[in-house]
A and B are shown apart, each in its own frame.
Chain A
């Protein structure tokens, strides 16, 4: 027992500066974080104070303010003011605050300010490139570049290219997957050549973990688009995977027909 007591003192001394700086014990905020996950942001505003000393508490309050209804520009400005105070710090709370601030400009104001949101995502990525929130911000920046921000140099420019340029900066595989998927789907909607967008869809699918109908659609898409591009082997691979995973889907009949056709092509070319 005697040996434990000094250790406790030392531990307390180590923790004290953190507490003083307002890091707070994570367990204290669990009800607030849980309320946010349950889409009950109004509970967070009841539980927490805007001017709390703990940075994490203020962050949770701001997240609650963003989600609470009725939402208005005034409530978003309130949230943004708190996030702006938190954003310059050196920790993940600061990075998350900067990310949420950009989200307010992109999604939550009645008149979104896309260039400002893009600028904040870019600044966050420059300042804290390995932070999860900076990485997620790069995905959102990619979406802005694909659909909303005008190309500064050439109006006829390839809209995929600016988003593609962000990919090497995203080191988290799941986030990179998400941007790859978005570039691939945007390529279809923007009527880009197949060779421009299909590799992105394949890259996204290979990471895996895409749930719901999106994952199922993607397997069909890669099979069909590969067939259209004359890549019979890849088409066969994805058609077979689809039939193995979704044999009762309404598309299975067509895919069986396509698989037969692809197998015939492969046999003709000696690739079977």
Chain B
């Protein structure tokens, strides 16, 4: 009996061992990794397109670099990504490369705290561009816009922290069949007044036929995009008035300080004119749109219940793959000086810029493999790497020398014109943005008006603008303080490279310190009486 038990036990042990061996070799991760280094690349671009594009680049990169494995982490944006990013960075478990955007609410301090500047590397040619038109050109200058957004959004005016993968703009995506049904032909609006007439025709068509069709697919997210596009025209003159520094461009900190100093208000005529345009555009959306999200607006458009869907070219691939009708991208033209409603406040043609690159990727300061991570970024933003991304994603390339596929070539047909600044007056900071959303109902619908909305904003904004300017100042100081030990570190090391890096760090720190002190002064000067 005892021997039988022993045999049974041994048999069970052998069976368990065999099952474990089978499991280990067939189901789980390999016991021995084939590649020495794994780097993680995290982003929120889970639309159709970018994951395919990034995978295509990874596949080629891994062929060229057999010791490196690149893992793409697709984290849903909006609510999940910011929390995921901050908790991982704080816990020192963040991926090597991460997407970040200046508009993410409450995340302004992230680059200064957690990302490494790339300025020195960007001054050198990208080795993966060898044999291409971009060979020998400094990496920074190979980008279509020379990295406008990473420079503008840098917490430190002397440093660049990111490189961009793609280029985006906003477009009116038109349901061609529906437009022919409504207007009898395809009409491309040449200015805001043309759009106004088309939207009125859709309303009339819907009334006559009883079909629930809107001019613009509506949602909270797309409304912000529409508002920012149409709001701008009358604000150009205001921006010119406030441009003391002569930069032809206003940073958020300057707009916030100017508001606190009483130099502009939402209720002033030019800003009211801009709000009136926003009201006209949002009145072309279905009731209750403010409760809906981007995906709801897209579904409305794909069901043929809206003539236009206005959003970024980042949605173009999804729309093309999902829509059962032909789509034509058009520009949302701004109001001009001859506009019958607001023309007297418009000083000239507003511009879209000449293409702004986007999908900004940052190098985690705490990366275990910074050299490999940086190398992968160089490949992804080289002519061959970015070509793979573009072809597989059908998103525009960020890099010069990449051939743009025929399907997306007209996305680069930009409207040149005058510019306003870093952000329209709805998104100067987290608090201003929240206040805009909270009060937006005053602007829309039968009960709303530009005047009501402006009054509500001007009541709420002094406190909100102060909080946002204070946040900008604190984010800048976050960058200044840690530079003291960094400068000491470079000073301690020998060699020309260390000397150059010390000089750069000293210059950047002084610039950031100056900015923080400017903001501190502006906050102190405009402090309300207790």
A contacts, CB < 8 Å to B: 26, 29-30, 32-39, 41, 44, 56, 59-60, 63-64, 66-67, 71, 96, 100, 103, 107-108, 132, 136, 139-140, 143, 146-148, 174-175, 177-179, 181-182, 185-186, 188-189, 191, 209-214, 216-217, 220-221, 223-225, 228, 246, 248-255
Contacts and interface: CB of A to CB of B under 8 A. Distances in A.
B514 A250 contact: no
Interface string B498-529: 10010110111011011001101110000000
B108 interface: no
Nearest to B477: A107
Contacts of A209: 503, 507
B507 A249 contact: no
B324 interface: no
A143 B419 CA distance: 31
B158 interface: yes
Contacts of A225: 246
17 contacts: A32-B492, A33-B490, A36-B490, A38-B489, A44-B485, A59-B492, A71-B481, A143-B513, A178-B507, A178-B511, A181-B510, A188-B246, A211-B160, A212-B157, A212-B160, A221-B247, A255-B248
A254 B418 contact: yes
Contacts of A185: 245, 514, 518
Interface in B390-421: 416-419
A35 to B, nearest CB: 7
Contact of B146 (A108, A191, A248): A248
A146 B493 CA distance: 32
B366 to A, nearest CB: 8
Contact of B521 (A41, A100, A189, A255): A189
Interface residues of B, number: 60
Contact of A103 (B246, B484, B486, B507): B484
A249 B418 contact: no
B493 A252 contact: no
Given A29-B492, A34-B493, A36-B489, A108 B484 contact: yes
Contact of A107 (B249, B484, B488): B484
B517 A212 contact: no
A213 to B, nearest CB: 4
A236 to B, nearest CB: 15
B525 to A, nearest CB: 10
Given A96-B488, A220-B248, A143 B510 contact: yes
Contacts of B501: 37
B30 to A, nearest CB: 32
Contact of B354 (A56, A212, A250): A250
B489 A212 contact: no
B489 A66 contact: no
Contacts of B249: 217, 220, 250-251
A211 B76 CA distance: 34
